[in-house]
Amino acid sequence: MENARERKRMYEKETGEIQNRIDAFDRALEQAPNLDTKMEYMQTINSLRELLIIKFEGLAIASDEIINELEEGINE
């Protein structure tokens, strides 16, 4: 279970870091000087959001593994 807990902590940390990057690009987007830069920032934000979804899926799997291991411990 420790492995699942460590992965969960890692995913939580990574999702926070990705969200901070999305927020930074979102703020930069508001001040972008031209359309090309705005488009580049929007593409980066979309890519980061896709990565965030993957990390949330990993977080859900790790959480499920922890729950399963806890339930197995109760049933033993």
- Helical segments of 1-76, H only: 2-30, 35-75
pTM: 0.83
Domains of the chain, by residue range, sit at 2-75
What's phi and psi for 34, nearest 5 deg? -145, 170
Residue 76 has pLDDT above 80, yes or no: no
Separation of alpha carbons 45 and 43, rounded Å: 5
pLDDT tens-digit series, residues 13-67: 999 999 999 999 999 999 999 999 999 999 999 999 999 999 999 999 999 999 9
Residue 42 makes CB contacts below 8 A (sequence gap 6+) with: 29
